[in-house]
């Protein structure tokens, strides 16, 4: 019996610690500032071949999405019915206009409205290190002046409205 107990313990310890075991996956995702800026430089190059902006999804989660966004030109006015936007400015400068009314509003997808501009909104200048939260259902638009560019980490968070 004693030999059998040792065999069972040996088998259990191999399962937990030995070659058959797998370490638990770390649930934390991490993107360093340097890596995000490197990806932002790549998006800058991609934007030159498109409409002046480019973005990529870093990871999709059940209730939010992590994205990286580069803008070399002003964006359209936007309203996301179910998603808040959390902008973390990594580099560059922009003006965030929020509130007011979207001029020339058109639905581009379920829960997504775009337009040419915002009338009657509030302006906030954004610089590296700044964080801006735009609640779901709030009109917003990123404006750039001259040769300005902006790179942001954008967290799109699903809200119940």
* DSSP character at residue 76: P
Report the predicted TM-score, pTM, of the whole model to 2 decimal places: 0.82
- Kindly list the domain boundaries of the chain, sorted by start residue: 56-161
56-161 maps to CATH 2.60.120.370? yes
pLDDT of residue 9: 39
Cα 155 → chain centroid:
4
pLDDT digits 0-9 by tens, 42-100: 999 999 999 999 999 999 999 999 999 999 999 999 999 999 999 999 999 999 999 99
**Structure-derived torsion over alpha carbons of residues 125, 128, 129, 134, reported in degrees to the nearest 10:** 40
In this prediction, residue 20 has a pLDDT band, given cuts at 50, 70 and 90, of low
């Amino acid at each position: 019996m004693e030999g059998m107990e040792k065999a069972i313990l040996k088998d259990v310890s191999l399962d937990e610690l030995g070659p058959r075991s797998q370490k638990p996956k770390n649930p934390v995702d991490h993107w360093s500032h340097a890596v995000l800026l490197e990806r932002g430089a790549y998006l800058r190059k991609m934007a030159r071949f498109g409409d002046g902006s480019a973005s990529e999804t870093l990871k999709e989660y059940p209730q939010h999405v992590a994205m990286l966004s580069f803008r070399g030109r002003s964006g359209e006015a936007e309203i996301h019915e179910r998603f808040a936007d959390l902008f973390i400015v990594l580099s560059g400068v922009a003006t965030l206009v929020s509130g007011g009314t979207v001029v020339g509003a058109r639905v581009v997808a379920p829960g997504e409205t775009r337009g040419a501009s915002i009338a009657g909104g509030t302006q906030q200048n954004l610089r590296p290190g700044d964080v801006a939260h735009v609640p779901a259902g709030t009109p917003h638009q990123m404006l750039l002046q001259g040769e300005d560019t902006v790179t942001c980490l954008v967290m799109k968070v699903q809200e119940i409205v």
